Amino acid sequence: MTRYFQSLEVGDRVALIANPTYHDSLYRARFHGRSGTVKGTQGKCYKVEIMDGNKAKIMLLHPIHLKKL
């Protein structure tokens, strides 16, 4: 429950760690374990920028799938 209600700030570094009990705004398995930077919020979810090769991607993720680094 702690990670469900965690709050993050813009600029925080986070790791993508999936919680299989909550399926909303779950990312694809290929991004598991990646780290990124919080760029903003949208509703209950956070916009996280990750690098996929040389390309930056923005993902909308629920805080239950994020672990603050």
- For residue range 10-26, list pLDDT tens digits in order: 999 999 999 888 888 88
Q: CATH code for 13-68?
A: 2.30.30.70
Q: Is 14 within 8 Å of 38 (Cβ atoms)?
A: yes
Q: Rounded to whole angstroms, how far apart are CA atoms 35 and 65?
A: 12
Residue type, 40: G
For the stretch 55-68, pLDDT in tens is 999 999 999 999 99
For the stretch 33-56, pLDDT in tens is 999 999 999 999 999 999 999 999
Confirm whether pTM is higher than 0.85: yes
